[in-house]
């Protein structure tokens, strides 16, 4: 295998499928992360399930404060925005998709908990922050279907994206040729 991968030798269909999947996930993450950040650190109502997943000996008041007041309202939306931007730009899509896997599995666990607890207790998912006020929210059932779609798109990126593991989208080579970098 040559040191630099030749994108022109790969079928264009794989590149287009990868770009579409990256764009769909990226736009979703930008909307979700931006909506949560625009809500100025509001804590989603479905965070009470964490005590069922974190063992009692680990759930100290400091950890509960960090997870509830720092990680979920601030760090998680920023991570969503960064992953979304990287996927839209096309930098290392396979690697970024693998980084997104635990996040989408966490979303699925959260929505599964909401469905198991009862739709009356959690009528909306609160996945998109302030955007849900303007455009309406998703029910937990709709959210789990959307999470399954995101999981399928992540698997498509991992399997279909042409090139080596740490490759980027082919159009970046046209903007920044390797001999000029």
The pLDDT tens digits for 85-100 are 999 999 899 999 999 9
Percentage of residues of the chain with pLDDT beyond 90: 36
- DSSP state letters, 27-93: HHHHHHHHHHHHTTSPPPGGGGGHHHHS-TTT--HHHHHIIIIIIIIIIHHHHHHHHHHHHHHTSSH
pTM (predicted TM-score): 0.84
Of 36 and 53, the structure prediction assigns the larger pLDDT to 36
More confident residue, 97 or 66: 97
Q: Report residue 165's pLDDT band, with 50, 70 and 90 as the boundaries.
A: confident
Taking residues 47-68, report their average pLDDT.
76
Mean local confidence (pLDDT), 96-112 = 92
Mean pLDDT of the chain: 83
**Quick one: average pLDDT of 114-131?**
81
Rounded to an integer, the average pLDDT of 130-146 is 88
The predicted model gives 114-119 an average pLDDT of: 81
Listed by start position, the domains of the chain span 8-173
pLDDT of residue 179: 58
Q: How many residues does the chain have?
A: 181
Q: Averaged over 154-175, what is the pLDDT?
A: 83
């Amino acid at each position: 295998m040559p040191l630099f991968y030749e994108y022109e030798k790969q079928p264009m269909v794989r590149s287009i499928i990868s770009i579409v999947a990256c764009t769909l996930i990226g736009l979703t993450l930008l909307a979700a992360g931006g909506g949560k950040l625009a809500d100025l650190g509001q804590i989603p109502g479905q965070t009470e399930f964490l005590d069922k997943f974190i063992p009692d000996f680990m759930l100290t008041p400091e950890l509960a404060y960090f997870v509830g007041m720092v990680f979920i309202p601030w760090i998680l939306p920023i991570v969503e925005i960064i992953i979304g931007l990287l996927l839209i730009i096309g930098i290392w899509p396979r690697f970024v998709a693998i980084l997104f896997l635990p996040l989408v599995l966490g979303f699925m666990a959260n929505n599964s908990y909401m469905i198991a607890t009862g739709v009356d207790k959690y009528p909306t998912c609160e996945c998109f922050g302030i955007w849900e006020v303007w455009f309406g929210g998703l029910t937990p059932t709709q959210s789990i279907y959307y999470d399954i779609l995101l999981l399928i798109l992540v698997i498509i990126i991992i399997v279909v994206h042409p090139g080596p593991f740490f490759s980027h989208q082919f159009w970046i080579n046209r903007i920044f040729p390797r001999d000029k970098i």
